[in-house]
Structure formats: structure tokens, C-alpha cells
Amino acid sequence: MTALYSEILLDHFRHPRNYGSLAAPDITCEDFNPLCGDRIKIELNLKHTVVEDVRFRGDGCAISVAAASLLTELIAGVDIKEVEAIPDERLISALESDIKPARVQCALLPLQALRTGLRDHKGQ
């Protein structure tokens, strides 16, 4: 029998990277999944257009917390133009788990929050 979640997903859930808050974030984005109650908040500090620092907080299932943790690692030190172009599949594949269709929304919640925050930041 194969494991439901990969060791990578479980490790990021049990030991989330970049968990916490920034003192004065340049960008704050939050999203909520009304179907399951997951809530993720992501904060970024930029140096010019590069993600200099990133933190997240939230309450959610193993998938959404692990996805948020992985996402913070994927975007640290990256130009926001590249961050905006991250495809859904990249985050899902980084979890290295068989994410069932009913749980894809959990995995993509942090990325959706980030996209909304970046759109709002561009509109300022």
C-alpha cells in the first residue's frame, strides 16, 4: 500500500519553513477556502522586484500548510514576475503526493492567495 502523503509533504507540514510574520511586509495576501475552512496568509518583503523575505501563517490541513511552506521556499530570492508565472502544476508536483481532485483546492490555496496579493500590489 502506498502512503497517502509523501515524506516531503509530511515534513513541511510537521516542520513548516518560513512560518510566522514579518514586521513590516510590503505585500500581505490572505485567502480562505470556505469548503474546508483552511486559511493561509502570506507576507512578502521585496528588494526592488525580488522577494527578499517571505513568511506565512494559517490554519489548515496538512496539504495547505505543506503547500504554503513549499511555496515560500520556491519564491524566496525570485523576481515577482517569475513568481506570478508559477503554474499550479509546479506547486502540486513539489508536494510529491497524489493529490486527489477534491483536495487540489487545498494545495493551491497558498498560490491563489499569493497571486491575489501580487495583483493587488501591482494595482497600487
78 found inside a domain: yes
How confident is the model at residue 117, as a pLDDT? 94
Whether 89 maps to a domain, the answer reads yes
**Cβ count within 10 A of residue 103:** 16
Report the domain count for the chain.
1
User: Would you state the cell numbers that stand for residue 111, as one nine-digit string?
Assistant: 498560490
pLDDT, tens digit, for every residue of 25-47? 999 999 999 988 999 999 999 99
Q: pLDDT tens-digit profile of 97-117? A: 999 999 999 999 999 999 999
What does the pLDDT read at residue 124?
66
Identify the domain containing residue 113 by its residue range: 7-122
Looking up residue 101, the CATH number of its domain turns out to be 3.90.1010.10
For 51-72, what is each residue's pLDDT tens digit? 999 999 999 999 999 999 999 9
Say if 11 falls within a structural domain: yes
| 1 within some domain | no
Quick check: 1 pLDDT over 50? no
Alpha-helical (H) ranges within the chain are 7-14, 62-75, 80-84, 88-94, 104-122
pTM of the predicted structure, to 2 decimals: 0.94
